[in-house]
Amino acid sequence: MPTINLFNTCCMDFMRGLPDKAFDLAIVDPPYGIGGGSYGINDGRAKAKVTLERLGKADYDVIRPDSAYFKELRRVSKSQIIWGGNHFADLLPASPSWVVWDKEIAAGLSLSACELAWTNIGGRVAMYKQMWAGMWRKGEMAGRSPYGERIHPNQKPVALYRWLLKNYAKPGQRILDTHGGSMSIAIACDIEGFDLTLCEIDKDYFEAGKKRLADHQSAPRLFVPEALSHPVQTSLYDQP
Protein backbone atom coordinates (compact mmCIF):
# COMPACT_ATOMS: atom_id res chain seq x y z
CA MET A 1 0.00 0.00 0.00
CA PRO A 2 1.31 3.49 -0.80
CA THR A 3 2.15 5.93 1.97
CA ILE A 4 0.12 9.14 1.78
CA ASN A 5 1.09 11.92 4.18
CA LEU A 6 -1.24 14.91 4.47
CA PHE A 7 -0.16 18.15 6.16
CA ASN A 8 -2.37 21.10 7.06
CA THR A 9 0.45 23.61 6.76
CA CYS A 10 2.02 26.33 4.63
CA CYS A 11 3.90 24.68 1.80
CA MET A 12 6.69 27.26 1.94
CA ASP A 13 7.38 26.52 5.61
CA PHE A 14 7.30 22.81 4.80
CA MET A 15 9.62 22.99 1.80
CA ARG A 16 12.20 25.13 3.62
CA GLY A 17 12.77 22.19 5.97
CA LEU A 18 13.43 19.71 3.15
CA PRO A 19 16.79 18.70 1.68
CA ASP A 20 17.52 19.26 -1.99
CA LYS A 21 15.72 16.86 -4.38
CA ALA A 22 13.73 15.24 -1.58
CA PHE A 23 11.02 14.24 -4.08
CA ASP A 24 11.22 12.69 -7.51
CA LEU A 25 8.21 14.52 -8.95
CA ALA A 26 6.10 17.49 -7.87
CA ILE A 27 2.59 17.71 -9.35
CA VAL A 28 1.10 21.00 -8.20
CA ASP A 29 -1.89 23.23 -8.85
CA PRO A 30 -1.17 26.54 -7.10
CA PRO A 31 -3.55 29.53 -7.19
CA TYR A 32 -3.42 31.27 -10.55
CA GLY A 33 -4.33 34.71 -9.19
CA ILE A 34 -7.51 34.95 -11.28
CA GLY A 35 -10.13 34.86 -8.51
CA GLY A 36 -11.34 31.32 -9.15
CA GLY A 37 -12.94 31.09 -5.71
CA SER A 38 -15.49 33.74 -6.65
CA TYR A 39 -17.09 31.22 -9.01
CA GLY A 40 -18.31 29.22 -6.01
CA ILE A 41 -18.94 25.50 -6.31
CA ASN A 42 -22.34 25.39 -7.96
CA ASP A 43 -22.36 22.46 -10.38
CA GLY A 44 -26.02 22.70 -11.38
CA ARG A 45 -27.40 21.00 -8.28
CA ALA A 46 -27.76 23.97 -5.94
CA LYS A 47 -24.33 23.83 -4.28
CA ALA A 48 -23.75 20.11 -4.83
CA LYS A 49 -24.53 18.83 -1.30
CA VAL A 50 -21.45 20.45 0.19
CA THR A 51 -21.13 19.90 3.93
CA LEU A 52 -19.08 23.02 4.72
CA GLU A 53 -20.47 26.44 3.89
CA ARG A 54 -17.05 28.05 3.45
CA LEU A 55 -15.81 25.77 0.67
CA GLY A 56 -16.66 28.35 -1.99
CA LYS A 57 -14.45 31.12 -0.55
CA ALA A 58 -14.37 34.36 -2.50
CA ASP A 59 -10.79 35.07 -1.38
CA TYR A 60 -9.44 31.85 -2.86
CA ASP A 61 -7.18 32.15 -5.91
CA VAL A 62 -6.64 35.91 -5.59
CA ILE A 63 -2.85 35.97 -5.18
CA ARG A 64 -0.52 33.78 -7.21
CA PRO A 65 2.76 32.42 -5.79
CA ASP A 66 5.90 34.51 -6.27
CA SER A 67 9.30 33.46 -7.60
CA ALA A 68 10.38 32.19 -4.16
CA TYR A 69 7.76 29.44 -4.33
CA PHE A 70 8.95 28.14 -7.68
CA LYS A 71 12.58 28.34 -6.59
CA GLU A 72 11.83 26.17 -3.55
CA LEU A 73 9.65 23.78 -5.54
CA ARG A 74 12.40 23.18 -8.09
CA ARG A 75 14.96 22.81 -5.30
CA VAL A 76 13.09 20.07 -3.42
CA SER A 77 11.89 18.08 -6.45
CA LYS A 78 13.76 16.58 -9.40
CA SER A 79 10.92 17.10 -11.89
CA GLN A 80 7.76 19.20 -11.87
CA ILE A 81 4.31 19.38 -13.45
CA ILE A 82 2.80 22.80 -12.70
CA TRP A 83 -0.84 23.46 -13.57
CA GLY A 84 -1.60 26.97 -14.72
CA GLY A 85 1.87 27.29 -16.19
CA ASN A 86 0.63 29.92 -18.64
CA HIS A 87 -0.14 32.17 -15.63
CA PHE A 88 3.44 31.76 -14.38
CA ALA A 89 5.30 32.10 -17.69
CA ASP A 90 7.32 35.03 -16.32
CA LEU A 91 8.45 32.95 -13.34
CA LEU A 92 9.33 29.66 -15.05
CA PRO A 93 12.11 28.78 -17.52
CA ALA A 94 11.21 28.11 -21.13
CA SER A 95 10.25 24.49 -21.78
CA PRO A 96 9.08 22.51 -24.83
CA SER A 97 7.24 20.15 -22.46
CA TRP A 98 3.62 21.03 -21.74
CA VAL A 99 0.44 19.16 -20.87
CA VAL A 100 -2.80 20.34 -22.50
CA TRP A 101 -6.01 19.30 -20.80
CA ASP A 102 -8.79 19.62 -23.37
CA LYS A 103 -12.01 20.12 -21.39
CA GLU A 104 -14.16 19.45 -24.46
CA ILE A 105 -16.21 22.58 -23.82
CA ALA A 106 -19.06 23.31 -26.19
CA ALA A 107 -18.72 26.31 -28.49
CA GLY A 108 -20.21 29.51 -27.12
CA LEU A 109 -19.34 29.00 -23.46
CA SER A 110 -17.20 31.67 -21.81
CA LEU A 111 -15.03 29.16 -19.92
CA SER A 112 -11.49 28.30 -21.00
CA ALA A 113 -11.43 25.39 -23.44
CA CYS A 114 -8.17 24.00 -22.02
CA GLU A 115 -5.86 24.11 -19.03
CA LEU A 116 -2.10 24.09 -19.43
CA ALA A 117 0.57 22.53 -17.25
CA TRP A 118 4.25 23.42 -17.53
CA THR A 119 6.64 20.52 -17.09
CA ASN A 120 10.33 19.81 -17.53
CA ILE A 121 9.70 16.16 -18.48
CA GLY A 122 9.64 14.64 -21.92
CA GLY A 123 10.47 17.41 -24.37
CA ARG A 124 7.03 17.34 -25.98
CA VAL A 125 3.48 18.60 -25.76
CA ALA A 126 0.88 16.01 -24.74
CA MET A 127 -2.91 16.16 -24.59
CA TYR A 128 -5.50 14.66 -22.27
CA LYS A 129 -9.23 14.93 -22.96
CA GLN A 130 -12.06 14.88 -20.43
CA MET A 131 -15.18 17.04 -20.41
CA TRP A 132 -15.07 19.24 -17.31
CA ALA A 133 -16.83 22.59 -17.23
CA GLY A 134 -19.45 23.82 -14.79
CA MET A 135 -22.27 21.29 -14.62
CA TRP A 136 -20.94 19.49 -17.72
CA ARG A 137 -18.52 16.95 -16.31
CA LYS A 138 -17.72 13.50 -17.65
CA GLY A 139 -16.71 10.78 -15.25
CA GLU A 140 -16.68 11.05 -11.48
CA MET A 141 -18.87 14.16 -11.32
CA ALA A 142 -21.67 12.55 -13.30
CA GLY A 143 -24.33 10.79 -11.24
CA ARG A 144 -23.06 8.57 -8.44
CA SER A 145 -19.35 9.06 -8.10
CA PRO A 146 -16.80 6.61 -6.68
CA TYR A 147 -14.81 9.65 -5.55
CA GLY A 148 -17.47 11.71 -3.75
CA GLU A 149 -19.01 15.12 -4.36
CA ARG A 150 -17.34 18.31 -5.49
CA ILE A 151 -15.69 19.98 -2.50
CA HIS A 152 -13.44 22.63 -4.07
CA PRO A 153 -14.05 25.39 -6.65
CA ASN A 154 -11.06 24.27 -8.75
CA GLN A 155 -11.36 20.53 -8.24
CA LYS A 156 -9.71 18.43 -10.96
CA PRO A 157 -10.72 14.88 -11.89
CA VAL A 158 -9.01 11.89 -10.33
CA ALA A 159 -8.69 10.39 -13.81
CA LEU A 160 -6.53 13.33 -14.91
CA TYR A 161 -4.05 12.71 -12.09
CA ARG A 162 -4.04 8.97 -12.78
CA TRP A 163 -3.15 9.74 -16.39
CA LEU A 164 -0.32 12.03 -15.28
CA LEU A 165 1.08 9.36 -12.95
CA LYS A 166 0.90 6.67 -15.63
CA ASN A 167 2.61 8.84 -18.23
CA TYR A 168 5.07 10.97 -16.25
CA ALA A 169 5.92 9.06 -13.05
CA LYS A 170 7.92 5.87 -12.62
CA PRO A 171 7.17 3.10 -10.10
CA GLY A 172 8.64 3.82 -6.70
CA GLN A 173 8.93 7.57 -7.20
CA ARG A 174 7.99 9.96 -4.40
CA ILE A 175 5.36 12.57 -5.30
CA LEU A 176 4.88 16.05 -3.78
CA ASP A 177 1.78 18.26 -3.99
CA THR A 178 2.04 21.68 -2.35
CA HIS A 179 -1.61 22.74 -2.83
CA GLY A 180 -3.76 19.69 -2.09
CA GLY A 181 -7.18 21.29 -2.50
CA SER A 182 -9.78 18.55 -3.04
CA MET A 183 -7.03 15.89 -2.86
CA SER A 184 -7.87 14.28 -6.16
CA ILE A 185 -4.17 13.56 -6.50
CA ALA A 186 -4.20 11.67 -3.19
CA ILE A 187 -6.93 9.35 -4.47
CA ALA A 188 -5.02 8.88 -7.73
CA CYS A 189 -1.79 8.03 -5.87
CA ASP A 190 -3.67 5.59 -3.65
CA ILE A 191 -5.05 3.81 -6.73
CA GLU A 192 -1.83 3.83 -8.74
CA GLY A 193 0.45 2.94 -5.81
CA PHE A 194 2.59 6.07 -5.43
CA ASP A 195 3.85 7.53 -2.14
CA LEU A 196 2.58 11.10 -1.76
CA THR A 197 3.30 14.03 0.52
CA LEU A 198 0.66 16.75 0.32
CA CYS A 199 0.27 20.20 1.87
CA GLU A 200 -2.94 22.23 2.15
CA ILE A 201 -2.93 25.43 4.17
CA ASP A 202 -6.70 25.96 4.41
CA LYS A 203 -8.21 24.04 7.31
CA ASP A 204 -11.65 23.59 5.71
CA TYR A 205 -10.30 22.31 2.41
CA PHE A 206 -7.85 20.09 4.27
CA GLU A 207 -10.52 18.44 6.42
CA ALA A 208 -12.94 18.02 3.51
CA GLY A 209 -10.20 16.55 1.30
CA LYS A 210 -9.00 14.24 4.05
CA LYS A 211 -12.54 12.92 4.49
CA ARG A 212 -12.87 12.46 0.73
CA LEU A 213 -9.71 10.36 0.68
CA ALA A 214 -10.84 8.35 3.72
CA ASP A 215 -14.21 7.68 2.10
CA HIS A 216 -12.44 6.43 -1.01
CA GLN A 217 -10.08 4.22 0.99
CA SER A 218 -12.94 2.70 2.99
CA ALA A 219 -14.97 1.82 -0.10
CA PRO A 220 -14.86 -1.73 -1.54
CA ARG A 221 -11.95 -2.22 -3.96
CA LEU A 222 -13.64 -4.82 -6.15
CA PHE A 223 -13.54 -2.47 -9.12
CA VAL A 224 -11.60 0.73 -9.70
CA PRO A 225 -12.56 2.64 -12.86
CA GLU A 226 -9.81 3.06 -15.40
CA ALA A 227 -8.59 6.57 -16.12
CA LEU A 228 -10.72 8.24 -18.77
CA SER A 229 -9.58 9.17 -22.24
CA HIS A 230 -6.18 8.33 -23.68
CA PRO A 231 -4.28 5.50 -21.95
CA VAL A 232 -1.01 6.94 -23.28
CA GLN A 233 0.18 10.41 -24.17
CA THR A 234 -1.00 11.95 -27.40
CA SER A 235 2.19 13.59 -28.60
CA LEU A 236 1.61 16.83 -30.49
CA TYR A 237 5.24 17.90 -30.67
CA ASP A 238 8.39 15.83 -30.31
CA GLN A 239 11.90 17.16 -30.11
CA PRO A 240 14.36 15.65 -32.57
Q: Concatenate the DSSP letters of all residues of 29-76 into one string.
A: ----SS-GGGGTT--SSSSTT-S-GGGS-TTTT-S---HHHHHHHHHH
CA angle 199–231–28, rounded 5-degree value: 15
Determine the Cα angle at 229 with ends 226 and 230, to 5°.
100
Whether 154 shows a pLDDT value over 90: the answer reads: no
**pLDDT tens digits for 9-44?**
999 999 999 999 999 999 999 999 876 544 444 444
How far apart (Å, rounded) are the C-alpha atoms in residues 91 and 190? Answer: 31
Categorize the per-residue pLDDT at 60 as very low, low, confident or very high, splitting at 50, 70 and 90.
Answer: low
94: Cβ contacts below 8 Å, ≥ 6 apart: none
For residue range 83-103, what is the model confidence (pLDDT) as tens digits?
999 999 999 999 999 999 999
pLDDT given at position 2: 94
- The pLDDT score that the predictor gives to residue 53 is 47
Return the top range by mean pLDDT from 103-107, 149-153, 172-176.
Answer: 172-176
Say if residue 236's pLDDT is above 50: no
- Alpha-carbon distance of 138 to 81, in angstroms, equals 23
- Tell me: pLDDT of 157 over 60: yes
What's the chain's length in residues?
240
Q: Residue 233: what pLDDT?
A: 37
State the pLDDT confidence band at 50, using cuts at 50, 70 and 90. Answer: very low
Q: Average pLDDT in the 174-203 region?
A: 97
Q: Tell me, what DSSP letter sits at residue 86? A: G
% of the chain with per-residue pLDDT over 90: 62
- For residue 187, give every residue at least 6 positions away whose Cβ sits within 8 Å of its Cβ, in sequence order, or none: 147, 158, 161, 212, 213, 216
The single-letter code of the amino acid at 122 is G
* Mean of per-residue pLDDT scores for the chain: 83
The pTM assigned to this predicted structure is 0.84
Q: Could you give all domains of the chain from N- to C-terminal order, each with its CATH number?
A: 4-220 (3.40.50.150)
Opening angle at CA 22, ends 18 and 25, nearest 5? 125
Q: Which of 129-138, 139-148, 170-179 has the highest mean pLDDT?
A: 170-179
With b for 16 or more beta-carbon neighbours within 10 A and e for fewer, the 23-41 pattern comes to: bbbbbbbbbbeeebbebeb
